[in-house]
Structure 1
Amino acid sequence: MVRFGVIGTNVITERFIEESRYVEDFIVTAVYSRTSERAKEFAEKYGVETTFTDLESMATSEEIDAIYIASPNSFHAEQALIFMNHGKHVLCEKPIASNADELTKMIQAAKDNQVLLMEALKSTLLPNFQTVQEHLHKIGTVRRYVASYCKYSSRYDAYKKGTILNAFNPIFSNGALMDIGVYCIYPLVVLFGKPLRVQGNGLLLESGIDGEGSILLQYEDKEAVIMYSKITDSHAPSEIQGEKGSIIIDKIHTPEKVEIHYRSGSVEDITQYQVCHTMSYETQEFINLIKSGKLESTTNSYAHSLAVMEIMDEVRKQVGIVFPSDKK
């Protein structure tokens, strides 16, 4: 068994535990929260006996082999470093850090301590993303990648009433690009690598974070167009356009339906079977790597995570989004 501790007693952590239960050799053995009451309440819900309110104590515990971090984005790097420096493997929610400088330090710590560090970005590990990779050659030379993920945040109504929750607070390294845009950028980087040029645009809210934005990315032989938002909804699919046809992806963040539309007019359904508890795929990848003695994922790799973070850093610079961690 791989014994996980969890940081974060929120809905994301709940989903992680509930969906990872389907993965062989997964077990949660410890819970961290800032208050003992909340830690115990959350732990009891999932039958976990050990709780912590101190990260250093948790990191030295013999009760865990790995940690799942689902705290606000601004805490990811600091918390990951504590656990890696005590020999624990780290599965960290996306975005893995606030900026590329933080991520570079995290990667170095993973290498120094010979532990696994992986960004918990589920979409690139799903069967319906892998089928895109396997069938990409069928559409010939790729010329354009178009990805859209726009989801009206349930916290935006509170923001408009004057209550700034974490999701719209730059102190926590949040915003549409970090929380939503990353789902569009990561698949692009996995498929085509880092672009030559990045041009970002966005709508800054009064709190200092972006409510929505778009990115134009230039490659030597293709371009990418990305749109994301936390203040509007969109039902538009994503698309990879090639000279022989296009691959249509229903939802870039969680692909469930994938088709090739050929120039001849024919349509090929390349959708793969995929379980509904989609977070289990990232957990399975993480556990498989640990059990095989590997310290880096080939899909959610250091290079891919770093390239994505560098793209987001550049977009934030162009749009004017500044986090406290940028000044360190």
Structure 2
Amino acid sequence: MITLATIGTSTITERFADAVAQTPGIRVDAAYSRDVARARAFADRIGAPGASDDLDGLLATVDAVYVGSPNGLHAEQARAAIRAGVHVFVEKPAAPTASEWDGLVAEAREHDVVLFEGMRNVYDPGLAALRDLLPEVGVVRRVSFAYCQRSARYDLVLAGETPNIFDPALAGGALLDLGVYPLSAAVALFGEPHTVTGLQVPIATGVDGAGSALLG
């Protein structure tokens, strides 16, 4: 039985816990939050027996951890787990920069643990089918990917608040939220670009609320 702890108390973490509950051979033993009362309330909601605000202590009790905290905390918390010898499933984006991700990968190899980022779309059967069909299209000259959605938290920004997803200190913004999906699909199908030109549309909190990128 794989024992697991969750980090973060958002809806996505709750959905992950629901999926774990339907999967044999794995269980959520505890929930972590910097606020122990919030951790306890979340643990009760997902049916986990343990709750803690002591990350290092918690990591000593489980086999694996799910990191679903705000973006800017992912790399730090994943690194703590890796160094504790704990396997890591970290939500996207795993780190704000490529160099931070490379560092996490190197440490995971050094400590012989599994580290993976929750970027499901590049492994979907639909994308695989599209890749298989590309040779039938002929020479591809131009493609366009887009993902647009009004955030449910944008009303908080309009009210003068700074929710985590739009906090520059926590690696918030459109590119590191929805923007990773079209970019990951483009790279998965056509490889890494040689050139990148981009334009961001800033919002009141200082992060990008929208944007476009032209990949060569």
CA contact (8 A) 2:85 2:113 kept: yes
From the CA coordinates, give the structure whose radius of gyration is larger. 1
1:120 has 2:121 as partner = no
User: 1:316: which partner in 2?
Assistant: none
- Aligned amino acid, residue 112 of structure 2: Q
TM-score by length of 2: 0.94
1:36-61 deviation line (CA, Å, top 9, x unaligned): 22212211222211222111111222
Structure-1 separation of matches of 2:41 and 2:17: 15
Match of 1:110 in 2: 108
User: CA offset at residue 180 of structure 1?
Assistant: 1.0
1:22 aligns with 2:22: yes
Match for 2:133 among 117, 132, 135? 135
Cα distance in 1, alignment partners of residues 200 and 106 from structure 2: 32
2:157·2:204 contact (CA, 8 Å) conserved in 1? no
CA RMSD between the two structures: 1.4
CA change 1:20–1:122 in 2 (3 A) is farther
1:145 Cα deviation after fit = 2.2
**Residue identity matched to 1:113:** H
**What residue in structure 1 maps to residue 177 of structure 2?**
179
Greater relative CO, 1 or 2 (CA 8 Å, sep 6+): 1
In structure 2, the residue matched to 1:154 is: 152
Q: Which residue of 2 aligns with 1:197?
A: 195
CA distance in 2, matches of 1:110, 1:158: 37
- Cα pair 2:157 2:205 within 8 Å, conserved: no
The count of aligned residue pairs is 216
Deviation of 1:95 after TM superposition, in Å, equals 0.6
- Higher strand share goes to which structure? 1
Give identity over the alignment, percent: 38
1:208 to 202, 206, 209: 206
Cα distance in 1 for residues equivalent to 2:17 and 2:209:
29
Q: Using the alignment, how far apart are the partners of 1:45 and 1:197 within structure 2?
A: 46
User: Where in structure 1 do 4 or more consecutive aligned residues deviate above 6 Å?
Assistant: none
Structure 2 distance, partners of 1:192, 1:155, is 33
SS at match of 2:142: strand
Determine if contact 2:20/2:28 at 8 Å carries over to the other structure.
no
State the alpha-carbon separation in 2 of the partners of residues 191 and 8 from structure 1: 32
1:26/1:7 Cα in 2 relative to 1: closer, same or farther (>3 Å)?
same
Which residue does the alignment assign to 2:78?
A: 80
**Alignment gaps of 5+ in structure 1:** 219-328
Deviation at 1:77, TM superposition (A): 0.8
Structure 2 residues without counterparts, runs of 5 or longer: none
Question: TM-score, normalised to structure 1's length?
Answer: 0.63
Structure 2 residue aligned with 1:93: 91
Q: Is the 8 A contact 2:147 2:178 kept in 1?
A: yes
Q: Note the C-alpha offset of 1:125.
A: 2.2
**1:137-168 residue CA offsets vs partner (Å, 9 max, x unmatched):** 22222222211101001111121121221121
Q: Partner residue of 1:51? A: 51
